[in-house]
A and B are shown apart, each in its own frame.
Chain A
């Protein structure tokens, strides 16, 4: 990690309108390869932000850093006003210890391209695992809540099935229920429909639509489905080579892109569809 003057970063975000998530000057590199270069991005409470962009532009990395699956090489990530990647020590920010990371991370949930359900547990057990083990909830309460969530994603009738007996679309819906069972404030979706057959994509996007309509969740989504992004996003960010080349409302970004790269990308995507 290069030495950086940490005093430029506030110990916590204050004021009336603090963002739910803030990336402040965040840098990420793998060896000599800089994947994200001084990323600055605020996501408001309840906002649905979609990230689009060519392969390798750093979209997944943004989500993984926020989920703490990757460490960062510079800058600070704030969640709900508090630093996630750092903690206060003697009045300055220092890299966070595991306990701090765990405390802040509890506000974030994530769904993956390949679902990553626990194969040795039924759909219901998958959903109950976090609440019982991590939140210390009683089995009875966790079961009730998990069944409600499975019902919400249309999987109540498969609650006792193991993942190997479920289709991709069904597994992804269980994965969404599992993440929601932890009551996150921020949900991350990384290409959750990319591994699915075209005919079942709708069953997953419909669940995400429901979440958007409920308004309470803040969401950050990476997708290759431009139509879906246009429909449900409050804001769309176009990533290119590790920077946000352009961002705006779906109408602006899809209807009247300003950046040459955005135009090229959208044209290429439209042609391939």
Chain B
């Protein structure tokens, strides 16, 4: 079996289109994860015990079950409760919530890293809790969290193929259908690997640069 360049060129437009969808899934999921993750972190730090315990357990639960199961759950179990979501919506929700749990742990680490003296100085200038988080704690928790956040950005991107199983037409899905039609999988799957690599590697590089830049910008 030999490599067919002509076929690669022929498939390329379709694959680039699918890459766009993959990026959209990763980006959309990540956006949900970034915001929801912060909510999960802050909820665990409220003074209300029942809230903190429930959210803590929820985060643990999400982290200890496979993403694939969660994707299936949202897409197939949802309708049995009258919640009918498109593959795209289900996929974004599942992957967003899954990574929100991971990001919330990254945020938690970052927040716990801020010295106690910062909270005390905030009290001494009479800041409210919300002001303290917004102006002091989150800005200081962020730079050390960037590395972890970056890893999960790459992680979510690499996990988007999971959405192919519910029919989201991203890269993996495209490769599968092309392969199934032609009974040739070498080129499509190789292209998927190369495209993923071409995006992950530079992303990781830029995240590292970004982290350095933020630290310098914040006088750290």
Interface residues of A (CB under 8 A from B): 67-69, 102, 105-106, 108-110, 112, 114, 116-122, 129-130, 133-134, 162-165, 175, 178-179, 182
Contact = CB atoms under 8 A, between A and B. Distances in A.
Q: Which 6 residue pairs spanning A and B have beta carbons closest together?
A: A162-B219, A130-B125, A116-B117, A116-B121, A120-B218, A110-B124
Interface stretch (B134-142, B156-164, B173-181): B134-142
Given A116-B121, A118-B118, A164-B220, A134 B140 contact: no
Contact of A105 (B117, B126, B218): B126
Nearest to A110: B124
Contacts of A102: 126, 128
Given A69-B120, A134-B126, 14 more contacts: A68-B123, A102-B128, A112-B120, A116-B115, A116-B117, A116-B118, A116-B121, A118-B118, A119-B218, A119-B219, A121-B219, A122-B219, A130-B126, A175-B121
B218 A118 contact: no
A204 B219 CA distance: 24
Contacts, number: 67
Nearest to A118: B136
Tell which of A69, A109, A116, A178 has the most Cβ of chain B within 10 Å: A116
Nearest to A134: B126
A86 B54 CA distance: 33
A118 B139 CA distance: 10
A133 B122 CA distance: 11
B139 A109 contact: no
Contact of A67 (B124, B128, B131, B136): B124
B126 A69 contact: no
Given A112-B120, A112-B121, A114-B117, A120 B220 contact: yes
A117 B121 contact: yes
B83 interface: no
Binding site of B, secondary structure by majority: helix, strand, loop or mixed? helix
B123 A67 contact: yes
6 contacts: A67-B120, A118-B136, A119-B220, A134-B131, A162-B220, A178-B125
A238 to B, nearest CB: 26
Contacts of B218: 119-120
Given A119-B220, A120-B139, A164-B219, A106 B117 contact: no
B121 A119 contact: no
A129 B135 CA distance: 9
A89 to B, nearest CB: 21
B120 A129 contact: no
A130 B127 contact: yes
Interface string B176-220: 000000000000000000000000000000000000000000111
Contacts of A106: 126
A165 B219 contact: yes
Nearest to A67: B124
B188 to A, nearest CB: 48
A102 B115 CA distance: 22
B147 to A, nearest CB: 17
Nearest to B114: A119
B220 A182 contact: no
A105 B124 CA distance: 8
B48 to A, nearest CB: 14
Given A112-B120, A118-B136, A120-B139, A133 B220 contact: no
A120 B218 CA distance: 5
Interface in B71-104: none
Contacts of A105: 123, 126
A271 to B, nearest CB: 32
B15 to A, nearest CB: 43
A221 to B, nearest CB: 15
A90 to B, nearest CB: 25
A114 to B, nearest CB: 6
Contacts of A133: 127, 131, 135
